[in-house]
Amino acid sequence: MAGYFKNIIDGTMSLISGMIITNKVCWQKDITLQYPHQTIKMTPRYRGHIQLVKDPETGTHSCISCGMCQKGCPSGCITVKGEKREGVKGKVLVQYDLDFTTCSLCGQCVENCRPGAIEFSLEYNLASPRKEDYHFDLLKRVEEQK
């Protein structure tokens, strides 16, 4: 008989403590979002795929086509091409492609870039079953960026 009442008391205490926890959590600030309808802003130190930095003053990138990012990339996922143009000092960037399928986000390219022309983007919302969707034309992207 004593065991019967003990079980009832234990069950009631367990229910009360569960309800106290539930009530406490109910009033706490939400830490989850209704993804994909809501998305978070990533912290500045987040490493998304690399991108060319757009200089707000010139409205364009500052890549000098030196190829140091491409040379330093251990995964060989960067293709940079520049060409000489008449009347222009140095090379003009004509191609900057990234194959994000093999990028390890090591950061070597960003470190190698002396003019600071590339950075990690804050993009994390990438999901596709198609490999082609992870091949980025970074030159086109920076030109289209508002």
Residue from 109, 121, 136, 139 touching ligand SF4 (CB under 6 A): that is 109
CA atoms within 13 A on the CB side of 4: 1
67 touches ligand SF4 by CB under 6 A: yes
Choose the binding region for ligand SF4 from 9-17, 26-34, 65-73, 123-131 (rule: CB under 6 A).
Answer: 65-73
104 touches ligand SF4 by CB under 6 A: yes
Choose the binding region for ligand SF4 from 6-14, 29-37, 113-121, 124-132 (rule: CB under 6 A).
Answer: 113-121
Give dist(CA 43, CA 124) in Å, integer: 11
Shortest Cβ 17–ligand SF4 spacing (Å): 49
Give dist(CA 62, CA 118) in Å, integer: 9
Inter-residue contact 77 to 98 (CB < 8 Å): yes
Residue from 3, 6, 51, 63 touching ligand SF4 (CB under 6 A): that is 63
Of 52, 38, 35, whose CA–CA distance to 118 is shortest?
A: 52
